[in-house]
Chains A and B, each alone.
Chain A
Amino acid sequence: MTDLISVDMALLILAAAAATFLTRIGGYVLITRMTTIPPRMEQALNAVPAAVLTTLVAPAFFNGGWDVKIAMLAALVVGVRYPGLLLLGAGWAAAMICRHLLGF
């Protein structure tokens, strides 16, 4: 049975997909209804990426154990000087060291 789709599950997944698409087009629909964008609003829109992505980072840092905190700090230190993949590697390596060598 593991390769079949149940109707209920498929409908639920498609409803979740529709909700997601709504969010993805919603901002466009809202903004194109406005003829001019006030400067304050433009400044707010410019802050969107940093503001949103921070909400995916901060709780992970504060709720994570010392292994996660150290991994993220290591990634931060590496990330301000080197490109993304090295940052990812630094975070991963720090977490591995914490868990397997230091026993956090």
Chain B
Amino acid sequence: MNRSEFNQGLKGGLIIALSSAPFAVLFGAVASDNGLSVMEAGLMSATVYAGASQLVGIELFGHQVAPWLIVLSVFAVNFRHILYSAALTRYIAHFTPVQKFFTFFVLTDPQFAEAVKRGESGRGVGFPWYIGFGAAIYFPWLFFSVVGAFFGRMMGDPRALAIDVLLPVYFLGLVIGFRRKPGFYPVVVASALGSVLGYHFVGSPWHVSIGAAVGVVVAAFLPLSTESVPANTATEMES
């Protein structure tokens, strides 16, 4: 295990853990508000480990929706991960099967964004870095959801504390981090239009998959960019 790489991962992950802590608390609070026990909220954070879909699932638990529909909704919200794992494959080809299991188990939005950033920079995505980054987010996420479930009813209105704007603002930050990539603006405009129209005409959570599909299809039809990805070849040589 490469110590310094692991520590680098931990450090990067801690920033995400800090900014996602309010959402974990919020999730715990909403979960207990919808009738989940502290242990059930903890189990969900430990096994599903996907913020937005946990909140969607919780919302449906409270509405007596058929179980298969809840599972399908969670699948729909998380559908983007199929694209993530496909896009990540080139950087982690050298991992062992067990390492790959953990890699995909902790594959979240920030984990993916940072791994791609690291892969593109040519530093290579090592397992110690990746799992350090993941662990630094996973355990605080679990801890703060349980804390939120415990203290849920004591917390005031999340709106008054402006907790609710943190999630979209955070995702906005991730998006503008990609603004120098070729085709960024057409893709973002297409995806924004697709998701807003999808939200109005089909409804949540399908707007996520619809918007993403529109953006990705537009990217496929854009003129081919000549930009080479050096990390790509580096990873292939390593494996």
Contact = CB atoms under 8 A, between A and B. Distances in A.
B192 A54 contact: yes
A44 B221 CA distance: 8
Interface in A74-91: 75-76, 79-80, 84-85, 87-88, 91
A29 B72 CA distance: 20
A59 B167 CA distance: 12
Contacts of A14: 47
Interface in A16-47: 16-17, 19-28, 30-32, 39-41, 43-47
Of the candidates A41, A51, A92, the one having the most CB atoms from chain B within 10 angstroms of its own CB is A51
B15 A43 contact: no
Contacts of B19: 84-85, 88
Contacts of A102: none
Of the candidates A4, A9, A61, A67, the one having the most CB atoms from chain B within 10 angstroms of its own CB is A9
Interface stretch (B3-11, B32-40, B125-133, B135-143): B32-40
Nearest to A83: B173
Given A49-B113, A88-B19, A96-B162, A55 B78 contact: no
B6 to A, nearest CB: 22
A96 B75 CA distance: 34
Interface of A: 1-6, 9-10, 12-17, 19-28, 30-32, 39-41, 43-64, 67-68, 71-72, 75-76, 79-80, 84-85, 87-88, 91-92, 95-96, 99-100
The SS class assigned to the B binding surface is: helix
Given A15-B71, A53-B178, A54-B192, 16 more contacts: A9-B37, A16-B71, A20-B78, A23-B82, A24-B81, A30-B82, A43-B224, A46-B229, A49-B112, A51-B211, A52-B83, A56-B52, A60-B167, A68-B168, A72-B169, A88-B173
A87 to B, nearest CB: 5
Interface string B100-120: 100011010100110010000
Contacts of A51: 187-188, 190-191, 211-212, 214-216, 219
Contact of B88 (A10, A28, A63, A96): A28
A29 to B, nearest CB: 8
Interface in B157-174: 159-160, 162, 164-174
A39 B191 CA distance: 21
19 contacts: A1-B37, A5-B37, A20-B49, A22-B75, A24-B105, A24-B107, A27-B86, A40-B221, A45-B87, A45-B216, A46-B229, A47-B183, A48-B212, A54-B175, A54-B191, A55-B192, A55-B198, A60-B171, A68-B165
